[in-house]
Amino acid sequence: MKSLFDENQINIGVGTWQLGMRGWGKDYSSSDAKEALKFLINNGIKFIDTAEIYGNGESEKNVGEVLSNSKRDKYYIATKIAGSNFKASKIKAKVEGSLKRLKLDYIDLYQVHWEPSAYTNLKESFKELEKICKEGLIMHIGVSNFSSKKIREVSNYLNEYKIESNQIKYNILERPVQEEINYLNENNIKIIAWSPLGQGFLTGKYIEKKPTGFIRKVNRLFRKESLKKYTPLFDFIKNKSQELNIAPATLVLSYEIKKGVIPIPGFKNIKQAEDIVKVLSFSLNDQIVKEIDDLVEPLITRYSKMGFYPPYLPNFIVNLIIKGI
Ligand SMILES: NC(=O)c1ccc[n+]([C@@H]2O[C@H](COP(=O)([O-])OP(=O)(O)OC[C@H]3O[C@@H](n4cnc5c(N)ncnc54)[C@H](OP(=O)(O)O)[C@@H]3O)[C@@H](O)[C@H]2O)c1
């Protein structure tokens, strides 16, 4: 079977955690965000990412409302099952729940949001997932925040399908260690880049003020000491984007596309959506990519821990933690 990414030219998508309407701050409104999503789909953005946990189903609902006005062949929808729900006996109901909220009859890419706990029988769960694929409810399988070691293990449990993508944190300043990236590239597993704008930090607009909302409170990029450390990068992004007559966000996303990953930026309004759409008709030249590489090399954080939660943390505790997301 051909992978979603081999069959279709997808080099950028969008993320819709923000449409869950929780934790992003006071200036988010579902009507602005839905208008923006409509604009994105009508202007050529085809790949839309959501998850059952964003706003406890609210993101999928809002996305479903917008998609109900679009032709099914205009977009690919990717959603995620929480790692703590990835139990053979629960998966079918979880898929059906997402389909109902999205108002769809199939999901293009179904991703396991993070490595499930050590108590999970992964063989049974992936076998069940494959069965649901064969029933036509899911077209392709992906994972998120999985280590290469775990992908190697779970790939053994799939017969006719394969793991086609790993959604991980990847941006100018934060990426996994090179061995993890190499494994994914060598095995034709597409990297889908979450937080491609560093949750807005990389656009340079948080030099003087901090974002509101609890989600960004725990992001180390927004700490006081970051500002001084990353000033040369902010200056570069500001000057270069002015010179090229594009927004800082467009520059940052175009750099990531050049690195071969699929960025899925979040957004809150049409203005931000316009900066994302601009990426479709813009390409960064290799010289600028090299200048950014040279500048950020000493600043990059390369992480090796891929999982989200300690493996022996019981699922019911994880489910309590994520309820507020
Ligand atoms: N798999 C996972 O574990 C995981 C984890 C996190 C996220 N995700 C997915 O990845 C998506 C994106 O990641 P993210 O939401 O963490 O961060 P992001 O895409 O790096 O940042 C999104 C934020 O950047 C700001 N922004 C967007 N466009 C802008 C523009 N043109 N100019 C200036 N600022 C702009 C907006 O915030 P303000 O305007 O409020 O500053 C927006 O909410 C999510 O929506 C979600 O689908 C997945």
How much of the chain is in helix, strand and coil states, percent to nearest 5?
A: 50, 15, 35
Three-state SS at 26: coil
Angle at 319 between CA 313 and CA 320, to 5 degrees: 95
Q: Is the CB of 165 under 6 A from ligand 1?
A: no
184-213 pLDDT, tens digit per residue, is 999 999 999 999 999 999 999 998 888 999
Average pLDDT over residues 249-261: 98
Average pLDDT over residues 7-24: 94
Q: Is the CB of 272 under 6 A from ligand 1?
A: yes
Nearest CA to ligand 1 atom 7: 194
Widest pairwise Cα distance in the chain: 56
211-251 pLDDT, tens digit per residue, is 999 999 989 999 888 888 899 999 999 999 999 999 999 99
Distance 37 CA to ligand 1 centre (A): 13
Q: Is the CB of 249 under 6 A from ligand 1?
A: yes
119-176 pLDDT, tens digit per residue, is 999 999 999 999 999 999 999 999 999 999 999 999 999 999 999 999 999 999 999 9
Angle at 141 between CA 119 and CA 2, to 5 degrees: 150
Three-state SS at 112: strand
* 94 contacts: CB under 8 Å, gap ≥ 6: 52, 81, 85
Q: Which residues pair with 262 in a beta bridge?
A: 192
Average pLDDT over residues 3-7: 91
DSSP 306: -
Q: Is the CB of 211 under 6 A from ligand 1?
A: yes
Burial of 264 (0-12, 13-18, 19+ CB in 10 A): buried
Confidence at residue 227, expressed as pLDDT on a 0 to 100 scale: 80
Confidence at residue 324, expressed as pLDDT on a 0 to 100 scale: 72
Question: DSSP letters along 215-250, please?
Answer: GGGG-GGGSHHHHHHTHHHHHHHHHHHHHHTS-HHH
Distance 80 CA to ligand 1 centre (A): 17
Across the chain, mean pLDDT equals 95
Q: Is the CB of 197 under 6 A from ligand 1?
A: yes
In this prediction, residue 307 has a pLDDT band, given cuts at 50, 70 and 90, of confident
Distance 192 CA to ligand 1 centre (A): 13
DSSP 266: -
In this prediction, residue 23 has a pLDDT band, given cuts at 50, 70 and 90, of very high
Q: Is the CB of 198 under 6 A from ligand 1?
A: yes
In the chain, what percentage of residues exceed pLDDT 90?
89
Atom from ligand 1 closest to the CA of residue 168: 1
Nearest CA to ligand 1 atom 25: 200
Distance 217 CA to ligand 1 centre (A): 14
CATH number at residue 151: 3.20.20.100
Nearest CA to ligand 1 atom 15: 266
Confidence at residue 308, expressed as pLDDT on a 0 to 100 scale: 86
pTM of the predicted structure, to 2 decimals = 0.97
Confidence at residue 132, expressed as pLDDT on a 0 to 100 scale: 98
- Residue whose token pair is 């491609």: 196
Residues in the chain: 325
Distance 199 CA to ligand 1 centre (A): 5
Atom from ligand 1 closest to the CA of residue 308: 3
- Test site for ligand 1: of 17, 202, 308, most ligand atoms within 8 A of the Cβ: 17
* CA 214 – CA 21 distance, rounded (Å): 12
Query: Buried b vs exposed e over 53-84: b needs ≥16 C-beta within 10 Å?
Result: bbbebbbbbbbbbbbeeeeeeebbbbbbbbbb
Structural domain of 224: 4-322
Confidence at residue 274, expressed as pLDDT on a 0 to 100 scale: 98
Q: Is the CB of 196 under 6 A from ligand 1?
A: yes
24-45 pLDDT, tens digit per residue, is 999 999 999 999 999 999 999 9
Single-letter amino acid, residue 61: K
Nearest CA to ligand 1 atom 44: 15
Distance 263 CA to ligand 1 centre (A): 10
How many domains are there within the chain? 1
* CA 131 – CA 95 distance, rounded (Å): 12
269-305 pLDDT, tens digit per residue, is 999 999 999 999 999 999 999 999 999 999 999 999 8
* 115 contacts: CB under 8 Å, gap ≥ 6: 83, 145, 146, 147, 150, 306, 307, 308, 311
- Residue whose token pair is 């998508």: 13
pLDDT at residue 1 is higher than 80: no
